[in-house]
Each structure stands twice: as structure tokens, then as C-alpha cells.
Structure 1
Amino acid sequence: MMNHRLRSPCALALIWVLLFGLPLTERAEQKSAPRPTDAQQELFDALRRRAFDAFYNLDYETAQKLFQQIVEELPDHPAGYLYLATQVWVGELNRTRRLQTSIYSNPSFYSRTGETVDPQVDQQFREYIQKAIEKAKARLAQNEGDVEARYFLGAAYAVLASYEATVARQFMAALKHARRAVSEHRKVIKQQPNFVDAYLTIGAYDYIVGSLPLWVKLLAALGGIRGNKERGIKELQQAAERGKYVSDDARVVLIAIYAREKQYEKALELVRYLRDRYPRNYYFPIEEAHLLVEVGRKREGFAAFEAMLQNERFQEVGDLIRFQYAQLLAEQGYRIAALHYYRQVTEMPTASPQLVTLAHLRIGQLLDLLGRRQEAISEYQLVLDRENVFDSHRQAERYLRRPYTGNE
């Protein structure tokens, strides 16, 4: 089976926007924009800390209540609306099982197929993000030098880019908004060089552009798009080490980058730090298991997946854990074991419908590799009977015509 984990630069770009996190800033000096009183600032900081802890532990209901309270306490500040938009976006990714980075390093994700977005989710997200943009622009209209407002404006465009890329799968719109986000954050650094939180977006952008193939970089340079891998990593390390609020977000991006650069021990160190800090977040144990296999510690990686399957905290995402485990087993050549866990996904009543479709497709591919052609054909037909996920129908039709060989 093809290994799709963290290989292509375009996939890394989507990993960046997916893992952008919740942007926050320090209080900046302002001339005319209304500033919170000391009591309001103290309450804001307390609410933010509690909301972040809930958010990173995937307790979206608690996080939403706390973000709403921020809106009520500071109605003219973009923060509350930005966090509410982010909660809607990441909550939808969790529901559709798109929080795992391997989704974005699979070429199928970028296929030109229509994406059906829940209208209620889409409307709610766009209302919140538009409010955040409006609040930030209103402050900038009062004072163009308001660094905090400019940071939040860039952060809002970054989250909008993230949503367009990962939920709506509108990649050109995502690119446009991402460039606006980076532009605003470069202005922040120019105004206030020690505003290291802004290096999260800038560093990710520099790394991604610097990772592009040479011919793509040359074309990008003609359009004024330039980057540098080494500089991007250093900027992200700054954000991780010195950022007041985005240090964990920067660590998450660095995990993806270190894995891509085959610096697996560095990635493991960050994963374990975040795993211990946010014990209810399934993302970090899954990444740890994959990384253990990458460094040649297969038994430990497989044991980590088995432990997750027994962990009561992760029962709600048992479908995703089984799917990821099956994918890892298939990549390592354990086809029969992979079939077992993919089949478990298809048999779970509460499994994500999208994952079930993809599991049927993977089962068909594995059966083809095992020489069980008639069984494989049945699986491809099941895929066609279900809703199209990325390019699952196109793939199923292709492999109905000729067996999957693993060389595609």
C-alpha cells in the first residue's frame, strides 16, 4: 500500500492550515481603540486558559460556552468571535474524522470533486468569522497602528483559509485567504518585532514555499511568493519557545515538519509533551504510534494502537483509531491484519460514513493485492453504492476495470 504520510509540499500546506490552532495575542499599545479594563483583562485571560484546555482536550461544548462568555464580556473584541469560528471549524473536522494529518497527505483529498458541507455548520462558521474580521477592521479604522487588531485580522483570515481548505475543499479560496493572513502578520512583525506569536503563520509559510520543487518556486517567485525552509523552521521554533499563546500550536506544526524532514526523535519529543499536557486528545497518541514505527520500533507503535483501542477516553473515535491502525499495518506489509481492522470500521454502527466508504475502498485494494479479485470487486461496488468521498468513486471504477497493484 502507498505510504501517504507527510510527503508532498501541497499536503504540508494543508497540514499547516489544519493545525493552525487558536490564535491569541498579548495586549498591544493602542492610541484610540478601546482597551479592556484590568478586571476585564484578568477575566479574559482566565476564560482563555480554561477554554484552551477544553479545546485541546476536544471538549468542544465547554470551549464553546467559554468562548461565548468572552464575546459577552468583550463584545467589541474580535477574539471571542474568532474562537467561536475556530471551534465550529475544528469541531466539524473532528466529526468528519479529518483531524489526522494523513488525510491531507493523500492525493485523493485534492481531487476536483464537489464537497457537501452541512449548511448549518457553514452558515454558523461564516457568520462568526465575518464578525471577527469586522471587529478587527473596525479597530484598525480607529487606529491603523493597532498591532493587536492587525494580528487578529490576519488570524481570522488564516482560520478562514483553514476552513476553506479542510472542510469546503475550496483550495484557491484557501490560498487567497492564507496569503492575506501572512501579509497582515508580516506587518505585525514590522511594527513590533518581538511579537513572536505572529511567527507561527510566517514560519509555516516560509517553510512550505521553501519546500516546493525548484520549478514551482521559480514560478512562485515571479508572483512575489518567496520562502526558505531553514528560516521557516527557526521562526516556528521561536513561536514554540517564546510565544505567549501559540507555543503549542507551533509545536503541532513542528511535529508535522520534523516528521517530513525525517527528524523523528524531535517529533516524538514534541508529541509526548503535548500528549501528556492534553491527555484526552486522541491526535497525539496516534501520531506517537506512527512515529514509533518510523524510527523502527514497530512493536511499540502497534502496542500503542492496541492500548488506544482499550482506552475508554477514546471510544468515541474508535473508528478513526482502527482506520489509522489498519493504514499503518498495510503500509508495513501486514495485509491480513490491516483487513481485520478496516473491516471493523465498516461494521461499527457509529463509524463516520466517510471512513466507512474509504475503508471499503482500502479493503478492495488489499484483496486485489492478495489475489482475491472477486471479493475485491464486491468492495468496489459497495464504494459506488455509497456517497462519494474525495475521489473514491473514480478509484473504485478504475479498479473495477483492472486490479489494484500498489504501484498507482
Structure 2
Amino acid sequence: MKLGAILLTMAVVGATAAPAVAICGASSQDIEIGYRQMYNLDFATAHKTFATYENAHPDDPLAHVSNAAAYLFGEFDRMHVLEIELFADNSHFEKREKVAPDPATRDAFEHELAVADGISMRRLAKSANDAEALFAQILANGLRGDYEALIEKKNLASLTYMKASRGKAEQLLSLDPHCYDAYLAVGVENYLLGINPAPVRWVLRMTGAQTDKADGIQKLQLTAEKGDYLAPFARLLLAVAAVREKDPVRAKELLSGLAQEFPQNHLYAAQLARIH
């Protein structure tokens, strides 16, 4: 497998006030603000935002899984993991170095996911169609896939989490097709696996994976245009796709918008400067 289960929630994240939004059965202005703080790489403030929400809403798994995202992507930023060239070139991705994570950050990341898992499973035991719990599981599997692919270099383990995330997304979308953030999980799997050569795609499909690149782009576009928490991340993935497809105009358009919206995120501006 080439790119593994990368980037499901990678975009990390602009701290401006936003109106409360209804996302997959939930409505939280605080969570929205926390994600924007992550997209602006203000991880310390995002942790505080999510912790405050956790204390006020102990039965909501989304704050915990979002706090886990802040730990993981803060670590990615520290280690300079998220470079667009890495994901735009398979050979670069395959030759990436295995990085040593900070043990304390890793423990905090795993703790937040464990708490989120416990809350989600309790809620799903009461109602198998709990949209908030399903959405939290989509994100949790995506984060675990990111960790396995980008830190542990365990692409097969990452694939397992990718498929689990997509499966939960399909379950949620069957209940609520307007949960546009959930389309990201379907789009990531289809696009990232769909760019592999035909023999590899055949093997991946034998494992139950989905490899329709065109469908992946379509699903990413849905999240980019209509999503909430994950819309900026979907735009980043579309920029990666544009670079791969030798479409610098589209890549610049997407990255310019992200750089303007999240001026503290050096990743967007740096990658924009490298596109010719």
C-alpha cells in the first residue's frame, strides 16, 4: 500500500469565533472554535478549549477525540511530518524516516482516544444509531491510522484503521446523508488507495478496501464545500491531489484560500511557495 491511512484529520487547525453549527447530530460552537485553533497551529489553546468542553459535557466523546487530534498534530508539526511533497510523491512517502514521538504526548493521545472509545461504546450500546458516537469513532479510527502510517510506518495497520473509519462513515451516512464531514473518510480511502497501480488496487480490493479515485475526489469535494470541522482538511487533500495531477493553478487556489483563512499555519504558506 502506498499512502496508508494518512491524513483523515490531519489538517490541523484558526481561532476565530464561529456560529454554532449542527454536525452529525451535534451542535457545539466550542468544538468548532477548537478545530479552528488547531488549523491555526494554536495547539495549546485548542487543548484548553477541548478540556473546558470535556468538563462541561462528560458524556460527549467528540471533545476527547478532538483533543487527541490536537496532541497528534501538534506532534506532527513539531517533527515537520506534514509536508505536501511527502504525500504528493509515493517514492518520498515510502522513503520517509521513522520518527520518535514524545512519550508523554503519545500517552496523552492514547488516553484521550481510550476515553472517547469508552463513551462512544456506552452510547452505542444504548442506541446503535447515535450519530455523535459514530462520528467520534470515525475520527478516532482516522487518527489511529495517521499515527500508524506517519509515526510507526505500519502501513498495513494503517489500512485496517482506514477501512474501519470508512465503514463507520458509511453507517453514519446511511442515517444522515447530510453529515458532510463523514464523506471525508470515504474520500480518503478511495483516493489514496485509488492512486496505486492496477495490480495493487486489485489486491487492496481483495482485502475489502475501496479504490475508486474519481469517487474519492467527489467525496472530498463534498466535505470541502459543505463540511464543517473537516472542510479545511478536505481542501488540503484536494490541493495534494492537484499537485499529483500536475494542476498547479488549482493547488495554488486551494492553498491560497487556506493560508488566508489560517494565517498562523505556516504549512499552507510554505507549500504554496513551492508550487510552480
* TM-based fold match above 0.5: yes
| Residue number in structure 2 paired with 1:227 | 211
**Alpha-carbon contact 1:18-1:99 (below 8 Å) kept:** no
Q: How does 1:393-404 map to 2 (within 5 A)?
A: none
1:158 pairs, out of 127, 142, 147, with 142
Answer yes or no: is 1:16 the counterpart of 2:7: yes
SS in 2 for 1:194: coil
Cα distance between partner residues in 1 of 2:212 and 2:78: 35
For 1:323-345, what per-residue CA distance to the aligned partner results, in whole angstroms no more than 9, with x for missing partners? xxxxxxxxxxxxxxxxxxxxxxx
1:124 pairs, out of 78, 95, 108, with 108
Cα distance between partner residues in 2 of 1:149 and 1:270: 31
| Residue number in structure 2 paired with 1:63 | 46
1:89 pairs, out of 72, 80, 86, with 72
**Alpha-carbon contact 1:15-1:256 (below 8 Å) kept:** no
Same amino acid, percent of matched pairs: 26
Q: How does 1:291-370 map to 2 (within 5 A)?
A: 291=275, 293=276
**Shift of residue 84 of structure 1?**
1.2
2:192 pairs, out of 208, 232, 240, with 208
**Alpha-carbon contact 1:206-1:226 (below 8 Å) kept:** yes
| Residue number in structure 2 paired with 1:167 | 151
Q: What is the TM-score when the length of structure 2 is the normalising length?
A: 0.88
Cα distance between partner residues in 2 of 1:113 and 1:94: 15
**Alpha-carbon contact 1:25-1:148 (below 8 Å) kept:** no
**Shift of residue 110 of structure 1?**
3.8
Answer yes or no: is 1:176 the counterpart of 2:160: yes
Distance 1:158 1:15, change over 3 A: closer
Structure whose CA Rg is larger: 1
**Alpha-carbon contact 1:154-1:185 (below 8 Å) kept:** yes
**Shift of residue 192 of structure 1?**
1.8
Answer yes or no: is 1:26 the counterpart of 2:23: yes
1:196 pairs, out of 160, 180, 184, with 180
Cα distance between partner residues in 2 of 1:151 and 1:50: 18
Partner amino acid for 2:140? A
Q: How does 1:139-158 map to 2 (within 5 A)?
A: 139-158=123-142
Partner amino acid for 1:50? I
What is the aligned residue count? Answer: 268
SS in 2 for 1:168: coil
Cα distance between partner residues in 1 of 2:6 and 2:160: 17
Distance 1:279 1:265, change over 3 A: same
**Shift of residue 194 of structure 1?**
2.1
SS in 1 for 2:23: coil
Partner amino acid for 1:10? K
Partner amino acid for 1:71? E
Q: Mind listing any 5+ residue stretches in structure 1 that lack a counterpart?
A: 1-8, 29-35, 294-408
**Shift of residue 282 of structure 1?**
0.5
Q: How does 1:240-319 map to 2 (within 5 A)?
A: 240-291=224-275, 293=276
Cα distance between partner residues in 1 of 2:101 and 2:229: 31
**Alpha-carbon contact 1:89-1:167 (below 8 Å) kept:** no
**Alpha-carbon contact 2:62-2:116 (below 8 Å) kept:** yes
**Shift of residue 80 of structure 1?**
1.2
Higher mean C-alpha deviation, range 197-206 or range 108-117: 108-117
**Shift of residue 101 of structure 1?**
2.5
Cα distance between partner residues in 2 of 1:148 and 1:106: 35
**Shift of residue 20 of structure 1?**
5.4
For 1:99-144, what per-residue CA distance to the aligned partner results, in whole angstroms no more than 9, with x for missing partners? 2223454746545986533222221111111111221111101100
Distance 1:229 1:106, change over 3 A: closer
TM-align CA RMSD: 2.4
1:73 pairs, out of 53, 56, 60, with 56
For 1:307-364, what per-residue CA distance to the aligned partner results, in whole angstroms no more than 9, with x for missing partners? xxxxxxxxxxxxxxxxxxxxxxxxxxxxxxxxxxxxxxxxxxxxxxxxxxxxxxxxxx
| Residue number in structure 2 paired with 1:100 | 83
Cα distance between partner residues in 2 of 1:142 and 1:274: 40
Cα distance between partner residues in 1 of 2:221 and 2:96: 35
For 1:282-312, what per-residue CA distance to the aligned partner results, in whole angstroms no more than 9, with x for missing partners? 0111111121x2xxxxxxxxxxxxxxxxxxx
For 1:175-233, what per-residue CA distance to the aligned partner results, in whole angstroms no more than 9, with x for missing partners? 21111111110111122222221111101211122222111112222223232111111
Distance 1:211 1:108, change over 3 A: closer
